[in-house]
Amino acid sequence: MPDQPGPDTPRVIRIRPEDNVAIVLNDGGLPAGTELPDGLRLAEAVPQGHKVNLIPFEEGTPIRRYGQMIGTAARAVPAGSWIEESLVRMPAAPSLGSLPLATAVPPPPPPLPGHTFEGYRNADGTAGTRNLLAISTSVQCVAGVVDVAVKRVRETLLPRYPNVDGVVALTHTYGCGVAINAPGAEVPVRTIRNLARNPNFGGAPLVVGLGCEKLAPEWLLAEQGRPAAGAGDAPGIVRLQDPSRQGFGPMVDAIVAAAGKRLEVLDRRRRVTCPAADLVVGVQCGGSDAFSGVTANPVVGFASDLLVRAGATVMFSEVTEVRDAIGMLTPRAASLDVARALVREMAWYDSYLERGEADRSANTTPGNKRGGLANIVEKALGSVVKSGTSAISGVLAPGERVREKGLIFAATPASDFICGTLQLASGMTLHVLTTGRGTPYGLAAVPVLKISSRSELSRRWPDLIDLDAGRVATGEASIEQLGWELFLLMLDIASGRRQSWAEHWGLANELSLFNPGPVT
């Protein structure tokens, strides 16, 4: 948390009138004895982003934030106390059996016509925000060779193709040494397959395989399921064990040659004006704090609503950060089928965690807690705000391709890298990450915009944070103003008129597959 004491007056925020805690906004927190604007005096010092109780708590008093119960008081404390983590007893997760399904479907929002971006149109109707050559891989064994080949492509070929933005190696740890027929294996397999089909790669995936792996390269070129045995060598596959190649040099040459053919095609593409409806934006949070749900996530939620009004696709994710707020989401499902699909994904994840003898409380990090988030309930209530207020029009299982427009729940773990990888597989072309604690996250395949929940972080990382939502807490800007600012920034970045900081610096985290199946 920031060190410098703010010279300004004490500021706290209570989200809903029924809340009995408020969040301290001042940089550096507030000392004991501080008189709050409503006359309450702090019984002890409260750090920035942390909670203060506005009424005396008995043991068992329900603690309310966002108008919801985030837990009960573990012991009696006077009003004005610092409600730190050990004072908050976490409630049980909401039962999945009795949720309201599609009972409060928001009406279709007023259309928002006239907004466009300059994108790369694909044969399947999708539109990319970047023009990238992707080299996919069927197995980790080939990753080293692919990396050498990619380096050579960047150095010797790419300068000759000025309309191509870059080369991305889709390397990962899957492909062999795994139980590929076990339940759960379909998740990494379809993720790898769909990653190569991301709209930013222009179609026609190029796959490097080894030759003896379980995940045969042909699987990755098939639309779905598994191709018949002996499908043979398709164009677009380079197999390193091909007996016609003697040694390492010819392997690299073969990849570089195949890349050259793809670059010829990609270089002929040009940006064309596309309606904002062709955008596919994935949103998630990373390194959240108690401000995330008050500043950054509501700004993203406002921008999500604008995107939905413009006809675009917005994916929100992170099952463990949705689970405790599921009762607020199932009523918003556009149909009973969508509501049941939401419940299905929650139930699948519950049993996945159970098998690992964990539950959703494993989600919160030490940094979340230092940032003021007592538990996963509080984190989830602040997290789902990113979804805005639109009807939820579809649900994707992990790694499935998105086909509908509107607000989509794409089920993924909350891990930034796994969520980002799965949203890429689903077809995301622009990524928005909100952060409170600060993470320098980036992805090679799409621009990643980072939004800080506090201005202190934006000042400390001026060349990493793209938009400072802390201005909501300081009163410098409203959620609506910053939501519009984000919406327009997304269109600029999608069009290549601007780069996000992560893109500017070439920051890219590795892809990280979700593999719920056994490893052999």
Question: In degrees, to the nearest 5, what angle opens at C-alpha 224 toward C-alphas 401 and 208?
Answer: 90
Three-state secondary structure call for residue 150? helix
From the list 214-222, 226-234, 301-309, 415-423, the region that binds Ca ion by CB under 5 A is 415-423
Least separation in angstroms between residue 292's CB and Ca ion is 11
Provide the mask over 258-297, with x wherever binding to Ca ion is found by CB under 5 A and - wherever it is not. Answer: --------------------------x-x-----------
Choose between 142 and 451: whose C-beta lies nearer to Ca ion. Answer: 451
Instruction: Enter the tokens of residue 377.
Output: 């309930």
Least separation in angstroms between residue 370's CB and Ca ion is 17
Least separation in angstroms between residue 415's CB and Ca ion is 6
Choose between 255 and 414: whose C-beta lies nearer to Ca ion. Answer: 414
From the list 28-36, 175-183, 412-420, 500-508, the region that binds Ca ion by CB under 5 A is 412-420
Q: Which of 160, 248, 241 is nearest to 208 (CA)?
A: 241
Asked whether position 416 contacts Ca ion by CB under 5 A, the answer is yes
Helix (H) or strand (E) holding 430: strand 430-435
Three-state secondary structure call for residue 278? helix
Asked whether position 414 contacts Ca ion by CB under 5 A, the answer is yes
Least separation in angstroms between residue 441's CB and Ca ion is 9
Choose between 284 and 387: whose C-beta lies nearer to Ca ion. Answer: 284
From the list 302-310, 331-339, 409-417, 507-515, the region that binds Ca ion by CB under 5 A is 409-417
447 — phi, psi (to 5°)? -65, 135
Choose between 52 and 414: whose C-beta lies nearer to Ca ion. Answer: 414
Between CA 6 and CA 90 the distance in angstroms is 32
Q: Which of 53, 44, 45, 54 is nearest to 26 (CA)?
A: 45
C-alpha atoms less than 13 angstroms from C-alpha of 197 in its C-beta half-sphere:
22
From the list 125-133, 188-196, 408-416, 462-470, the region that binds Ca ion by CB under 5 A is 408-416
In sequence order, which residues have a C-beta less than 8 Å from that of residue 420 and are 6 or more positions away?
A: 282, 284, 431, 441, 443, 448, 509, 512
Choose between 22 and 414: whose C-beta lies nearer to Ca ion. Answer: 414
In terms of DSSP bridges, do strands 237-239 and 206-209 run parallel, antiparallel, or are they unpaired? parallel
Choose between 284 and 390: whose C-beta lies nearer to Ca ion. Answer: 284
Choose between 131 and 284: whose C-beta lies nearer to Ca ion. Answer: 284
Asked whether position 466 contacts Ca ion by CB under 5 A, the answer is no
Least separation in angstroms between residue 516's CB and Ca ion is 18
Asked whether position 372 contacts Ca ion by CB under 5 A, the answer is no
Hey, which residues between 120 and 159 contact Ca ion (CB under 5 A)?
none
Choose between 414 and 477: whose C-beta lies nearer to Ca ion. Answer: 414
Least separation in angstroms between residue 514's CB and Ca ion is 13
DSSP letter (8 states) at residue 447: -
Q: Rounded to the nearest 10 degrees, what angle do helices 143-152 and 248-267 cross at? A: 60
Least separation in angstroms between residue 417's CB and Ca ion is 9
Least separation in angstroms between residue 412's CB and Ca ion is 9
Least separation in angstroms between residue 237's CB and Ca ion is 34
Which ranges in 161-247 belong to alpha helices (H)? 186-195, 217-221
HEC secondary structure over 348-373:
HHHHHHHHCCCCHHHCCCHHHHHCCC
From the list 230-238, 373-381, 406-414, 460-468, the region that binds Ca ion by CB under 5 A is 406-414
Residue keyed to tokens 């299982």: 397
The alpha carbon torsion through 487, 419, 2, 21 (nearest 10 deg) reads 80
From the list 49-57, 154-162, 398-406, 411-419, the region that binds Ca ion by CB under 5 A is 411-419
Choose between 200 and 284: whose C-beta lies nearer to Ca ion. Answer: 284
Choose between 320 and 390: whose C-beta lies nearer to Ca ion. Answer: 320
Between CA 383 and CA 237 the distance in angstroms is 41
Least separation in angstroms between residue 60's CB and Ca ion is 32
Least separation in angstroms between residue 491's CB and Ca ion is 24
Choose between 278 and 416: whose C-beta lies nearer to Ca ion. Answer: 416
Between CA 465 and CA 455 the distance in angstroms is 10
Choose between 63 and 296: whose C-beta lies nearer to Ca ion. Answer: 296
Between CA 505 and CA 475 the distance in angstroms is 31
Three-state secondary structure call for residue 327? helix
Least separation in angstroms between residue 365's CB and Ca ion is 10
Hey, which residues between 38 and 57 contact Ca ion (CB under 5 A)?
none
CA 181 → CA 36, 139, 440, distances in Å?
61, 16, 37
From the list 144-152, 153-161, 255-263, 407-415, the region that binds Ca ion by CB under 5 A is 407-415
C-alpha atoms less than 13 angstroms from C-alpha of 17 in its C-beta half-sphere:
0
Judged by CB under 5 A, the number of residues near Ca ion is: 4
**Residues at the site binding Ca ion, with contacts judged by CB under 5 A:** 284, 286, 414, 416
